[in-house]
Amino acid sequence: MLLEANFEWGRARKLGEKPLQFWITEYGWFTNSKGVSEELQAAYLARALLICRRHGLDTGLFFYDFMDDGLDPEEPEHHFGIVRHDFSPKPSFQAIAVFASLFANKRALSSFSPAKDTYVLTCGEKCATVTAIWGVEPTDIEIDWPAPRKNLVMLDWQGRRLPTPAGDKLRCKADKLPIYLVRPW
């Protein structure tokens, strides 16, 4: 039988059959002195979630690991968790919780790159949208942003409210951790 690769929203399928589901398993970053900082772990996990949502690859995402496996500061395997061994949350836990609460079951509507290594993803339906903005390195960007703005809320990666810029252009800094523009209609 012929195979059709249809990667619109990340699905591939055999002709005439239901779409296949892609699962991404056991990805993560350890946070000890040999690994990444806890904040960079949060950035990588948040960006992975956003990239998967953009490409429709979010039917099965499995982080490695929920909880740090031990207390040895030099053992990388003991520091992959999004919560520490004592169950206290790392920044990545908060980043994932904010992503989950904002994006829930919203599908990707549009995405573009306003500058090198800088990304904008909008998910939702018509006027009820969430837009994520992030980059690899800190980059000042300017985006045409349609009115109305009165119900627009700007949040950081931890869900804290930020001042919403005025005017027809949205000026902000795209950085390793995303910011979110929420239009709740």
What CA–CA distance (Å, rounded) separates 148 from 130?
15
pLDDT of res. 104:
85
- Which residue among 78, 103, 128 closes a domain? 103
126 & 72 share domain: no
Residue matched to tokens 């956003």: 50
pLDDT of res. 170:
80
157 & 115 share domain: yes
pLDDT of res. 171:
81
Structure tokens at 99: 């992503």
Cβ(68)–Cβ(89) below 8 Å: no
99 & 67 share domain: yes
pLDDT along the chain (185 residues), means of 10: 38 57 83 92 93 80 90 93 96 95 89 90 86 92 71 90 79 90 80
Domain harbouring 118, CATH code = 2.60.40.1180
pLDDT of res. 25:
84
Secondary element (H or E) of residue 43: helix 38-55
Structure tokens at 58: 């979010």
> pTM, whole model, 2 decimals?
0.82
Structural domain includes residue 14 = no
Structural domain includes residue 149 = yes
Structural domain includes residue 65 = yes
Structural domain includes residue 10 = no
Q: How many domains does the chain have?
A: 2
What CA–CA distance (Å, rounded) separates 169 from 157?
21
27 & 97 share domain: yes
119 & 164 share domain: yes
85 & 122 share domain: no
Structural domain of residue 56, as residue ranges?
21-103
76 & 122 share domain: no
Amino acid letter, residue 151:
N
pLDDT of res. 27:
84
Structural domain includes residue 13 = no
92 & 64 share domain: yes
114 & 159 share domain: yes
pLDDT of res. 100:
93
- Which residue among 72, 103, 134 closes a domain? 103
25 & 98 share domain: yes
